Structure 1
Amino acid sequence: MYSDKENVNILTALLVGHGVRHAVVCPGSRNSAIVHNLNECPAINCHPVTDERSAAFCALGMCQATGEPVVVCVTSGTALLNVLPAVAEACYQHQPLVVVSADRPAQWIDQLDGQTLPQPGTLGRFVRKAVSLPEPRDGEERWYCNRLVNEALMACRREDGGPVHINVPLSEPLFDYTVESLPRERVISLYAPKAAPVDEAVIRDFEHAERSMVVVGQMAESPVLDAALEQLSAAGYAVLREPLSGNGRTARCLDEAVALVEDDDRYLPDCILYVGDTLVSKRARKYLRKARHARCWEVSPGGEPHDVLMNLTGVIQARPEDVLTQLRERSSHAFRDLWEAARTMGEEHQSRFEPPYSQFLAVKRLEEMSTEDDPRAVFHYANSTAVRLGCLYARHYIHCNRGVNGIEGSLSTAAGYSLVNDGRVYCVIGDLSFFYDQNALWNRNLRGNLRILLLNNGGGGIFYQLDGLQASGACDDLVAGRHRTTAEGICAGNDITYYPAHDATTLEVGLGALTRGHSDRPVVLEVFTRAEQDAALYRKYYELLKGKI
Structure 2
Amino acid sequence: MAFLYTNEKNAQVILCLLKAHNIKHVIASPGTTNTALVASMQQDPFFIMYSSVDERSAAYMACGLAAELGEPVVISCTGATASRNYLPGLTEAFYRKLPVLAITSMQSFTKVGHHVAQVIDRSSVPKDAVKLSVSLPIVKDDDDLWDCEIKVNKAILELKHAGGGPVHINLPTTYTKPYGTKELPAYRVINRVTVHDSFPILEGKIAVFVGSHKQWSDTEIKSLENFCLQNNAVVFCDHTSGYYGKHRLLYSLAAAQSMLDKTDYRPDILIHIGEISGDYATLNMAGKQVWRVSEDGEIRDTFHRLRYVFEMPEKYFFEHYATGNLEEDGYYQRCHQHLDSIRAKIPELPFSNVWLASKLAPHIPPESTIHFGILNSLRSWNFFELPATVTAASNVGGFGIDGGLSSLVGASLANSEKLYFAVIGDLAFFYDINVLGNRHTGKNLRILLVNNGKGTEFRQYNHHAAYFGEQADEYIAAAGHFGNQSPTLVKNLATDLGYEYMTASSKTEFENCYEGFVTSEILDRPIVFEVFTDSTLESEAIERIQTLVSSPKGKTKERVKKILGPKGISTLKKLVKR
TM-score in terms of structure 1 length: 0.58
1:470 aligns with 466
Determine which of 445, 451, 461 is the counterpart of 1:450: 445
Q: 1:519 and 1:444, CA in 2 relative to 1: closer, same or farther beyond 3 A?
A: farther
Residue 523 of structure 1 and its aligned partner are, at CA, apart by: 0.3
Residue 266 of structure 1 and its aligned partner are, at CA, apart by: 3.6
Determine which of 369, 373, 376 is the counterpart of 1:378: 369
1:418 aligns with 412
1:252 aligns with 249
Rounded to whole Å, the distance in 2 between the matches of 1:402 and 1:364 is: 22
Rounded to whole Å, the distance in 2 between the matches of 1:323 and 1:499 is: 48
Residues 16-39 of structure 1 show CA distances to partners (whole Å, capped at 9, x for unaligned) of: xxxxxxxxxxxxxxxxxxxxxxxx
Rounded to whole Å, the distance in 1 between the matches of 2:266 and 2:523 is: 50
Does residue 233 in structure 1 map to residue 228 in structure 2?
Answer: yes
2:380 aligns with 389
Does residue 309 in structure 1 map to residue 311 in structure 2?
Answer: no
Q: Are 1:253 and 1:343, in contact at CA under 8 Å, matched by a contact in 2?
A: no
Residue 308 of structure 1 and its aligned partner are, at CA, apart by: 0.8
Aligned residues: 343
1:533 aligns with 537
Residue 439 of structure 1 and its aligned partner are, at CA, apart by: 0.7
Q: 1:268 and 1:366, CA in 2 relative to 1: closer, same or farther beyond 3 A?
A: closer
Q: 1:537 and 1:264, CA in 2 relative to 1: closer, same or farther beyond 3 A?
A: closer
Residues 230-274 of structure 1 show CA distances to partners (whole Å, capped at 9, x for unaligned) of: 433332123222221123264433122324596343434333321
TM-score in terms of structure 2 length: 0.55
1:441 aligns with 436
Q: After superposition, where does 1:67-146 map in structure 2 within 5 Å?
A: none
Larger Rg: 2
Q: Secondary structure at the match of 1:420?
A: coil
Q: Are 1:379 and 1:398, in contact at CA under 8 Å, matched by a contact in 2?
A: yes
Does residue 546 in structure 1 map to residue 550 in structure 2?
Answer: yes
Rounded to whole Å, the distance in 1 between the matches of 2:270 and 2:342 is: 28
Q: Are 1:452 and 1:524, in contact at CA under 8 Å, matched by a contact in 2?
A: yes
Residue 468 of structure 1 and its aligned partner are, at CA, apart by: 4.8
Q: Are 1:259 and 1:546, in contact at CA under 8 Å, matched by a contact in 2?
A: no
Q: 1:279 and 1:546, CA in 2 relative to 1: closer, same or farther beyond 3 A?
A: farther
Residues 39-60 of structure 1 show CA distances to partners (whole Å, capped at 9, x for unaligned) of: xxxxxxxxxxxxxxxxxxxxxx
Determine which of 221, 225, 229 is the counterpart of 2:215: 221
Rounded to whole Å, the distance in 1 between the matches of 2:266 and 2:385 is: 26
Residue 313 of structure 1 and its aligned partner are, at CA, apart by: 2.0
1:490 aligns with 493
Residues 447-487 of structure 1 show CA distances to partners (whole Å, capped at 9, x for unaligned) of: 11110111111111221223452332641121112121442
Residue 393 of structure 1 and its aligned partner are, at CA, apart by: 1.6
Q: Are 1:362 and 1:527, in contact at CA under 8 Å, matched by a contact in 2?
A: no
Q: CA RMSD in A?
A: 2.7
Rounded to whole Å, the distance in 2 between the matches of 1:284 and 1:262 is: 13
Q: After superposition, where does 1:19-38 map in structure 2 within 5 Å?
A: none
| Structure 1: gaps (5+ residues) | 1-158, 160-195
Q: Are 1:363 and 1:389, in contact at CA under 8 Å, matched by a contact in 2?
A: yes
Rounded to whole Å, the distance in 2 between the matches of 1:510 and 1:228 is: 43
Rounded to whole Å, the distance in 1 between the matches of 2:226 and 2:464 is: 43
Q: 1:357 and 1:239, CA in 2 relative to 1: closer, same or farther beyond 3 A?
A: same
Q: Are 2:297 and 2:311, in contact at CA under 8 Å, matched by a contact in 1?
A: yes
1:479 aligns with 476
Q: Are 1:253 and 1:392, in contact at CA under 8 Å, matched by a contact in 2?
A: yes
Residue 360 of structure 1 and its aligned partner are, at CA, apart by: 1.9
Q: Secondary structure at the match of 2:212?
A: coil
2:568 aligns with none
Determine which of 283, 287, 294 is the counterpart of 1:285: 283
Residue 378 of structure 1 and its aligned partner are, at CA, apart by: 0.9
| Structure 2: gaps (5+ residues) | 1-161, 163-192, 556-578
Q: Secondary structure at the match of 2:392?
A: coil
What residue identity is the alignment partner of 1:366?
L
Residue 197 of structure 1 and its aligned partner are, at CA, apart by: 7.9
2:339 aligns with 346
Does residue 509 in structure 1 map to residue 531 in structure 2?
Answer: no
What residue identity is the alignment partner of 1:451?
R
Q: Are 1:245 and 1:397, in contact at CA under 8 Å, matched by a contact in 2?
A: no
What residue identity is the alignment partner of 2:270?
I
Q: Secondary structure at the match of 2:415?
A: coil
Q: Secondary structure at the match of 1:520?
A: coil
What residue identity is the alignment partner of 1:347?
D
Rounded to whole Å, the distance in 2 between the matches of 1:452 and 1:429 is: 8
Q: After superposition, where does 1:149-188 map in structure 2 within 5 Å?
A: none
2:148 aligns with none
Rounded to whole Å, the distance in 2 between the matches of 1:429 and 1:356 is: 18
Residue 403 of structure 1 and its aligned partner are, at CA, apart by: 0.8
Q: 1:489 and 1:222, CA in 2 relative to 1: closer, same or farther beyond 3 A?
A: same
Q: Secondary structure at the match of 1:544?
A: coil
Q: Are 1:232 and 1:239, in contact at CA under 8 Å, matched by a contact in 2?
A: no
Rounded to whole Å, the distance in 2 between the matches of 1:546 and 1:259 is: 11
Q: Secondary structure at the match of 2:494?
A: helix
Q: 1:539 and 1:331, CA in 2 relative to 1: closer, same or farther beyond 3 A?
A: same
Residues 203-238 of structure 1 show CA distances to partners (whole Å, capped at 9, x for unaligned) of: x612xx122332221101215334433433332123
1:332 aligns with 327
Q: 1:333 and 1:253, CA in 2 relative to 1: closer, same or farther beyond 3 A?
A: same
Determine which of 290, 295, 298 is the counterpart of 2:292: 298
1:73 aligns with none
Q: 1:525 and 1:321, CA in 2 relative to 1: closer, same or farther beyond 3 A?
A: same
Rounded to whole Å, the distance in 1 between the matches of 2:361 and 2:342 is: 17
Q: Which structure carries more relative contact order (alpha carbon 8 Å, separation 6+)?
A: 1
Q: 1:319 and 1:514, CA in 2 relative to 1: closer, same or farther beyond 3 A?
A: same
Q: Are 2:294 and 2:314, in contact at CA under 8 Å, matched by a contact in 1?
A: yes
Residues 357-379 of structure 1 show CA distances to partners (whole Å, capped at 9, x for unaligned) of: 32222222222222xxx311111
Q: Secondary structure at the match of 2:334?
A: helix
Residues 61-87 of structure 1 show CA distances to partners (whole Å, capped at 9, x for unaligned) of: xxxxxxxxxxxxxxxxxxxxxxxxxxx
Q: Secondary structure at the match of 1:471?
A: helix
What residue identity is the alignment partner of 2:472?
C
Rounded to whole Å, the distance in 2 between the matches of 1:217 and 1:233 is: 17
1:361 aligns with 355
Residue 526 of structure 1 and its aligned partner are, at CA, apart by: 0.7
Q: 1:205 and 1:497, CA in 2 relative to 1: closer, same or farther beyond 3 A?
A: same
Q: Are 2:350 and 2:540, in contact at CA under 8 Å, matched by a contact in 1?
A: no
Q: Are 2:271 and 2:292, in contact at CA under 8 Å, matched by a contact in 1?
A: yes
Q: 1:246 and 1:281, CA in 2 relative to 1: closer, same or farther beyond 3 A?
A: same
Rounded to whole Å, the distance in 1 between the matches of 2:212 and 2:478 is: 29
Q: 1:251 and 1:442, CA in 2 relative to 1: closer, same or farther beyond 3 A?
A: farther
Does residue 273 in structure 1 map to residue 275 in structure 2?
Answer: no
Rounded to whole Å, the distance in 2 between the matches of 1:488 and 1:350 is: 36
Q: 1:474 and 1:250, CA in 2 relative to 1: closer, same or farther beyond 3 A?
A: farther
1:89 aligns with none
